[in-house]
Structure 1
Amino acid sequence: MQVDEDAVGAVLNRLRRAQGQLAGVIAMIEAGRDCKDVVTQLAAVSRALDRAGFKIVASGMRQCMAAADGAAPPMSEAELEKLFLTLA
């Protein structure tokens, strides 16, 4: 499965945002910031990563549905379920 070109930009933006947020969390911990602030930022990093993963899975589902016309082997329901559960 490949991520379609339209989704690549969105996924990369989300991953870069998560990367920046994670660097911020590291700096917060090193600076001895309040636990509540650190946890809030960690949750934001987690959401950004989840959204990137869901975007990739959604792209795969679109490809799978498009492949139903016989152009490429479709992804099985079990494979799609496994992808979703990986993110759960």
Structure 2
Amino acid sequence: MNSESAGTSACHAVDPCEGPEPPHAVHRDRDAHLKRLRRIEGQVRGIHRMVEEDVYCIDVLTQVAAVTKALQALSLNLTSEHLRHCVAEAAVQAEAQGRTDLIDEKVAEATAAIGRLLR
């Protein structure tokens, strides 16, 4: 979709994190993220087996806490990468174009994502 399409703002046309091959930090670290997600997936399967086998509830809760921490660590890593790349690039573009709305949009987007993580 181009910037002239209905419902698309001009801001999205210069968004550093959008396009056919977005330069998201997640793409640069895709292998590490996928490795971490496979490990988490294995942990969740282990919890599933523990429940099926009626393992002591405190032991199951310990594993749930481990998965929760692993997901939080992944979330923090993704957030850091987003701030480092997308928000920083929006700041550069905002300054070059004299458009503070570019940085405001990325900061609002990051703030909302962090808020969802804290709920």
Please give the TM-score of this superposition, normalised by the length of structure 1: 0.82
> Deviations for 1:11-63, whole angstroms, at most 9, x for unmatched residues?
22221111000000000010110111100000111111111111111111011
Tell me whether 1:13 sits opposite 2:35 in the alignment.
yes
Unaligned runs of 5+ in 2: 1-16, 97-101
Which structure has more relative contact order (CA 8 Å, sep 6+)? It is 1
Q: Equivalent residue for 1:52? A: 74
Unmatched tracts of structure 1, length 5 or more? none
Contact 1:7–1:56 (CA under 8 A) maintained in structure 2? no
CA drift of 1:68 comes to: 2.0
What is the CA RMSD across the aligned residues, in angstroms?
A: 1.9
Larger radius of gyration: 2
What is the count of residue pairs matched by the alignment? 87
Tell me the percent identity: 32
Counterpart code for 2:59? D
Partner of 1:65: 88
Higher helix share: 1
Please give the alpha-carbon distance, in whole angstroms, between the structure 2 residues aligned to 1:84 and 1:23.
Answer: 27
